[in-house]
Structure 1
Amino acid sequence: MVVVIIIIILLFAIFSIVIKHNHNKAEQMRIEATKKAEEEEIMKIAIETQKIEELKKEKQEEENATGIIYLTFDDGPTSDSTPQILDILKDRNIKATFFVLHYDENHEQFIKREKNEGHTIALHGYSHKYSEVYPSADTCLENFRKIKEQVYQTTGIESKIIRFPGGSSNIVSKKYCEGVMTELVTRVVDEGYRYFDWNVDSDDAGHAKTSQDIYNNVTSGIKPERNNVVLMHDFAGNHKTIEALNDIINWGLEQGYVFRRITEETPMVTHGVNN
C-alpha cells in the first residue's frame, strides 16, 4: 500500500513538472511570437519611412531638374539586347520601363531581373501582330490580359501600365477594325489601365541606322520642363541603341535632367487618335 502511494506521489510530481514545463514552453513561444511580430512591425515602419524619404528626395530632385526623362524599351525581352541594356542601367543607377511581349521560360530570367533591379515591367501585348491584336477592342484587351497574367505568374506584379502596339495613334488598326482605337483608349482606362505613348522617338525601329542617329534623335527630341517619354526597343540585335544608351544618359545628366521609371502615378503621355 505504501509503495502504491509513493508511486502515485511520484507520478503526480512528474505530471506537475511536465505541465509546468509545457506551460513555460508555451509562454516562451508566446513571448517569442510577440517579439517577432513587434520586430516585423518596426521593420515595416522603417521601410515605409525610408520609402517616404526617398519619394521626398525624388520630388525635390524633380523640382530642381531641367525636366524628367523616362527611358522606355518595347518588344523584349530578348537574350542579347535586354541583358546588355540592364547592365548599362544598373551600372548608371538608372531606372527604366520595359513594355514586354510574350516570352518563353528561357526569357523569364530577364523579366525577374527587371523586377529585382527596380524597373517597371509594363505591358505591350501577348502578341504584336496587328492582325491578331486589332480585329476588335475585345481582342486587344484580351491580348493585354494574357501578357498581364504571364507577368503576374513570373513576378507577382499586377501591371496596369500598357502601350498599344503601334501606339494609340496608329492607323494600321483601321485595316482590321474601323474606329477600334477610339473605343480602346476609353475602355482601357475604364478597366484600370494607364496607357503611354511617347513624345521622343529614337526611331531605332525605323530610319535610324547608327548609334549616332539614335543619340541625335533622342537628344534633339527631349524638351525642358516636361515629362519626356523616350521610345526605344530591346528587340534582338538592336546594337545601335545599346551603343547610344550611355551617351544619352550622360547628355541627360549633364543637361540637368533626372531619369525616372513610369509608375501608376506618372501622368499619361498620349497621342491623338487617328482611328
Structure 2
Amino acid sequence: MTGTVTALSLSLCACTVEVQPEGQGGLEGAQPASASNVERDRSSLGSGDLTVLMVVDRSGSMMYEWEGTPKWQIARNAIDQAIVGVEEELTIGALLFPMEAGCNVAALHEPGQIDFQRGGSFQEEWADSAVSYPAGATPLGEAFRQADSAILQAEELGLLEQRFRVVVITDGEPTCGEDPNELVAYADLWREKGVEVRVMGLPGSSGAAALLNRIAGVELFEDPRTGEVLVPDAGARWEEGDPDAPGYIAPPSGDDVDGSLHSVVR
C-alpha cells in the first residue's frame, strides 16, 4: 500500500490468558509436567545452552509432493541434517501431530514422541520414527497444549534459564475446531517466559499465513479503506546469528528448509 494508507495495528489476541502459579500450568487448565519426567537425569541432555522443541505437522497433506518429494520427507531430512555438528551440545525434542489419524496428540514423554535429549540420541529416535506415515487432520491446538506441558517440564529441568526455542513446522490451517486466539495466547505466554517462537509454513499454508504470523509474534496491519489484513513479507530463510530473523517464514524451496533448520538449532 502507498503512503496515503494509514495502517492500523490489529489486536493480536482477543482472549484472556490466565497465568497459573509457577509449576501449575500455562493457560488455564494446562497440566503440569509429571514428576517422573521432571526428575530425569540431566546427563541425557546436551552440554550446550540451547534447547529446541520441534512441533511438526504429520497430517495427511504432508504426504503431498513438493519439488518431487513428500513434504514430510523434506522436513524429516532437514531436521536430521541440521543436527550434524551439534550432536553433543544441542538438547532437542519433537512433538508430532497428530498421532495416527484424527485429532489426537500424545504428550512429549509418551510413545511416538521424542522427549528432550542430546542431539545424537535424538537422531537415533528420529530415524526410528521414519516408519510412521502422515495421516489425519491438523490439530495444532492440541499440539500447542502438549507443547505447553513440555515447556513446563523443561522449566522444571532448568532449561528455560538458557536459550529455548519452539519451532513449528506446518503446511496448513488447523482443522480440529481450534480457536485461533488460543494458539496466539499460548505463543505469547511462551515469549513472556523468554522462549523464542519460530514458525515455518510449507506449501499449502498460505491460507493460514495471517495466523502463523501472529503465532510467530509478527505484528499485522489492516488497510482502513478495504479491511484487508496486510501480511508482512515471510522471508526465505532463517540465518544463523541474525537477531532480526523473521519469526515466520515460508521457504520457497527445500534448500531453504535445510538452511533455516540448520541455523535454528545453533
Name the TM-score, length of structure 1 as normaliser. Answer: 0.30
More strand by share: 2
More helix by share: 1
Structure with bigger gyration radius: 1
